[in-house]
Structure 1
């Protein structure tokens, strides 16, 4: 424990920077995945066949091991941000697409028909009624994607991606040295703690952005 504490104290500034980069990369990638996933969900949720195809394609990405996907992306996009962002966005799509489709499909058609009956356009109904009603489901998909992305980003250090993964890889590469275990353990604990903090933030965002009637 003394070695771990000494490592954390001695590297606290670098650990803070790596933690910031890790969280920042995850949030940005999940936001990109949310824009794409919600758009895809909106386009296909009325079509059972379209929903099945979109979900199946997004599911296929999850069957590809992280190392393999990064290895395929590196020759195309090089090292660093390119393959890291692409991989995280692709892995984050499935929960968001699926939850968007589920949330929109669960909206009572009578509510949408009533809105159309008072003169609202299809886009207005989607923006003002259907998406707000589906928002809790979409937010749940974002939470799941965020937790996945926190772990996957650590593996993206293989492609020289930002964040705490570099600490893990550095520790594993120095197995047998005095700093190997503190490095790997510190990186792991920080990723877990940051993931829990982000999940708590999502819960708070859900309470602040979901109307009481929908929550109840």
Structure 2
């Protein structure tokens, strides 16, 4: 195993970087999309039921099935992988964003309005900062979930450590089949742990001490 890793350390490092890059970019885009939708939902409450239904249905769609649906539209490679990871990343962030924004004390919003803040200023300076701890919890969940989805996306030649996992599966019985699968799996776990550690640090930097749990 150690010889296997030593011979391929540069390749493993590059695939780990690709895996992390794919997930983090997808989660960043998903966060923007989810927060934007959540803002609309809080302005039009009747849309919440529809959003919850779509979110629940989305989480039940197997990643293999979604990738299969995207394949004829986007083909093999990064676009299909990115769209699939982003789709799943949106769902937990959206739920948390709706809960977080709805949980902001209305009296604070009235106070902001009384201070002359318009809707956009109130959103950026009051609602989002107060809702951010709940939203950020969704971002952490989304990031961890997306690590696994990104590995499956290697099936359509997406970037990342999933390449090693599927190489191992296709070479079952071969000399390095187990090594490929094991290194790919452990690598995904390691990248996920590092990403979560960095997100914890980001949370301490972006969440006010006064509202930090």
Q: Where on the TM-score scale, by shorter chain, does this alignment land: which range?
A: over 0.9
1:176 corresponds in structure 2 to: 173
Q: Does 1:105 align with 2:105?
A: no
1:74 corresponds in structure 2 to: 71
| Map 1:1-216 → 2, pairs under 5 A | 4-215=1-212
Q: After TM superposition, give the deviation of residue 62 of structure 1 in Å.
A: 1.6
Q: After TM superposition, give the deviation of residue 58 of structure 1 in Å.
A: 2.4
Q: After TM superposition, give the deviation of residue 63 of structure 1 in Å.
A: 1.2
Q: After TM superposition, give the deviation of residue 207 of structure 1 in Å.
A: 0.7
Aligned with 1:141: secondary structure? Answer: helix
What per-residue deviation string (whole Å, max 9, x for no partner) do you get for residues 50-107 of structure 1? 1221122122122111111111111111100111111111111111111111111111
Alignment TM-score, normalising by the size of structure 1: 0.96
Aligned with 1:213: secondary structure? Answer: coil
Q: After TM superposition, give the deviation of residue 47 of structure 1 in Å.
A: 3.8
Q: Which runs of 5+ in 2 are unaligned?
A: none
User: Is the contact made by 1:46 and 1:105 (CA closer than 8 Å) also made in structure 2?
Assistant: no
CA distance in 1, matches of 2:108, 2:100: 14
CA distance in 1, matches of 2:179, 2:97: 41
Aligned with 2:211: secondary structure? Answer: helix
Comparing 19-28 with 118-127, which one deviates more in the overlay?
118-127
User: Is the contact made by 1:58 and 1:90 (CA closer than 8 Å) also made in structure 2?
Assistant: no
CA distance in 2, matches of 1:211, 1:142: 17
Q: After TM superposition, give the deviation of residue 49 of structure 1 in Å.
A: 2.4
Q: How large is the Cα RMSD of the aligned pairs?
A: 1.0
